[in-house]
Amino acid sequence: MERELFIGIDAGGSETKLVACDGRGNLVGYGKGGPANHLSVGLERMKESLVEAMKDAGCDGLHFESAYIGYSGLGIWSPSELLEKIGHEVIDTDRLAINNDCYNALYGGFGGESGIVAVTGTGSMVLAIDEDGEVTRLGGWGHLLGDWGSGFRIAMDAIQVALKVHDGTVDSKLHDKMMNFFGFDSSRAIVRYFYIEQHSKSEIAAFAPVVIEAAVSGDREARRIVEANAIEVARTAVVMYNRVAVAPRLAVVGGLSKSEFFMEQLRWGVSGWLKLCKPLLQPVFGAVLIAMNNFRKVDKPVLERLSEISGEYEREGRL
């Protein structure tokens, strides 16, 4: 009997990640491709990014028992059938499932078991999966209306404070940090960047680590911004816990989870309600777990093997 193969894809807004493994959870391939949010880069570039990741992982020409793609940007108005069709064009597989990329994080968080996951990437969202596998979402209203605790939100909050510093109504290092980070030399350059030029949300969100750094080094305004964003995520997670019958644990994935300062605020915000856990699997490993589960229920040793590799990849900064 040939080896059974599974593939999981995290088709994100700034890059695509792919994991292929066998039925025992042993890694068969790992690869990366370009951005794959069809809303921002279009369907063609999205497909190209999937193809890149397949090649990079050495998965071209392989046949897969089951595949799962978590697409960034897949929402209620998405061309789901088209996204599924494109998946089939790229992957040779018997069964393919697609969904929004947040499910990668959700299933990765506790290996598909009950718990709450906060996604704090360019955007943000709080998800819960209960004992019966029911999923509930809170937050995630997008960059215009919400996304507290996201890199984009923290960056924009900080830029708005920086402009108050420019006007002289507030004192903070965020102004100089903004000017340096974006290479602005005048107010005109600032206005041009945000209103005339086209910049992606992830380009702007890239300023968030600088804001956190300023917070850590004691800048009061930066501190206030990071705290307020972390507390908002914490509050949403606690509301989730009180609303849904879910295990009292919270895993955080995405860029902000790498900041100890952010996580410390978050831990404080959920204390007495939820235990903060490291996610069992990083999102792309969550994706391959979904693919495997769609074929047959994954047992504990396999999950442990996946978790081990996911942890290794994360520690080595390869994710």
Q: Which of 138, 210, 250, 292 is the binder for a second copy (CB under 8 A)?
A: 138
Minimum CB separation of residue 73 from a second copy in Å reads: 11
Based on CB atoms, which residue is closest to a second copy, 124 or 310? 124
Would you count residue 160 as binding a second copy (CB under 8 A)?
Answer: yes
Q: Which of 239, 244, 277, 319 is the binder for a second copy (CB under 8 A)?
A: 239
Minimum CB separation of residue 220 from a second copy in Å reads: 16
Q: Which of 1, 76, 132, 315 is the binder for a second copy (CB under 8 A)?
A: 76
Would you count residue 139 as binding a second copy (CB under 8 A)?
Answer: yes
Q: Estimate the crossing angle of helix 260-270 against helix 208-216, to 10 degrees.
A: 80
Would you count residue 232 as binding a second copy (CB under 8 A)?
Answer: yes
Q: Which of 2, 61, 183, 196 is the binder for a second copy (CB under 8 A)?
A: 196
Q: Greatest CA separation found in the chain?
A: 72
- Residue 91 has phi, psi (to 5 degrees) of -115, 130
What lies within 8 Å, CB to CB, of 114 at 6+ separation is: 128, 129, 130, 131, 246, 247
Would you count residue 77 as binding a second copy (CB under 8 A)?
Answer: yes
Would you count residue 190 as binding a second copy (CB under 8 A)?
Answer: yes
Based on CB atoms, which residue is closest to a second copy, 77 or 218? 77
8 Å CB contact between 306 and 285:
yes
3-state class of 154 per DSSP? Answer: helix
From the list 28-36, 166-174, 249-257, 308-316, the region that binds a second copy by CB under 8 A is 166-174
Q: Estimate the crossing angle of helix 220-243 against helix 208-216, to 10 degrees.
A: 110
DSSP state of 199: -
Would you count residue 194 as binding a second copy (CB under 8 A)?
Answer: yes
Structure tokens at 35: 């951005």
Would you count residue 195 as binding a second copy (CB under 8 A)?
Answer: yes
Number of residues near a second copy (by CB under 8 A)? 29
Minimum CB separation of residue 145 from a second copy in Å reads: 6
Would you count residue 132 as binding a second copy (CB under 8 A)?
Answer: no
What lies within 8 Å, CB to CB, of 41 at 6+ separation is: 34, 35, 49
DSSP state of 257: G
Would you count residue 198 as binding a second copy (CB under 8 A)?
Answer: no
What is the spatial distance between Cα 297 and Cα 12, in angstroms, rounded to a whole number? 26
Based on CB atoms, which residue is closest to a second copy, 176 or 312? 176
Would you count residue 273 as binding a second copy (CB under 8 A)?
Answer: no
- Residue 276 has phi, psi (to 5 degrees) of -80, 125
Strands (E), 82-198: 92-100, 115-120, 124-129, 135-138
What lies within 8 Å, CB to CB, of 55 at 6+ separation is: 31
Would you count residue 135 as binding a second copy (CB under 8 A)?
Answer: no
Would you count residue 142 as binding a second copy (CB under 8 A)?
Answer: yes
Structure tokens at 311: 């942890």
List residues near a second copy by CB under 8 A.
Answer: 76-77, 138-139, 141-142, 144-146, 156, 159-160, 163-164, 167-169, 188, 190-192, 194-196, 232, 235-236, 239, 243
